[in-house]
Amino acid sequence: MNITEVRHQSWAGLLNIFYICLNCDHVASQGLLLGYQCKICGHSGVRMFYSVVISSLIDSIQDFYFISNKRKTKEDTAAITIQTNPQTVIPLLFCTLADVILEDFLRTLMRKQGLSQPVADRLLSDHLTGKRRRECLFPVLTGCKWKAALETLSSPLEPNFNSTFDFYLEVNKARNQFLHDGVPWAIKTTHPQGCINHIWPLLKLFVSLHNKFVCVLHPSGNL
């Protein structure tokens, strides 16, 4: 399915379909099905894995995607400015989505390891950027380098996580040039569509990271 063809249904409702088992913390995409049981432990209790913030960011990407002259209807009267131009806003939202998911993952991992919230807050404040969190904090918490972790998750059954991460790095660099250096043309015309295409692999990536590094620690963590 081409998600950009969906206008009147929430993209988050279609993409954010991951649920976490309340017993063993395993995450799967089966959703809230009648009679659902965790394939790992058989428990039936689940809740949504990603927070409402993630859903809001995905739906915001959807909203801005449809703010364009060629897709306007008579009811669409919003003017397009640099603040509302999908060319710039969608990459910014995508980078924010990736940053929020990374922080949520790290917080969950630290909580599962028994670290207190003040300690977790201090570690995150000591590693403010996504790069430091991936290259410095992630290895300390997991015993595995970020790139090596992506390699271990590679599977013919999964999206190409390395491709998604490389795309994020490219867009994040353009985002920083736009925000900090005032270079709007750093964001390529192909970036917005690429961001949309990589939402699902990004969500899947952090589900896989959770199941590899968080779920295995011990059951019944009540995350």
Order of strands, sheet of 19-21, starting from the edge strand that comes earlier in the sequence: 27-28, 19-21, 46-48
Structural domain harbouring 84: 3-213
- For 107-142, what is each residue's pLDDT tens digit? 999 999 999 999 999 999 999 999 999 999 999 999
Lowest-confidence range among 32-41, 66-75, 157-166, 207-216?
Answer: 66-75
The pLDDT assigned to 221 comes to 45
Q: How many domains is the chain built from?
A: 1
pTM flag (> 0.75)? yes
- For 174-189, what is each residue's pLDDT tens digit? 999 998 888 878 899 9
The pLDDT assigned to 183 comes to 82
In a domain, 196, yes or no: yes
In a domain, 78, yes or no: yes
In a domain, 221, yes or no: no
DSSP letters, 49-67, are SS-HHHHHHHHHHHHHHT-
In a domain, 223, yes or no: no
In a domain, 141, yes or no: yes
In a domain, 122, yes or no: yes
DSSP H/E element including 20: strand 19-21
In a domain, 218, yes or no: no
In a domain, 222, yes or no: no
Query: What is the token pair recorded at 2?
Result: 């081409």
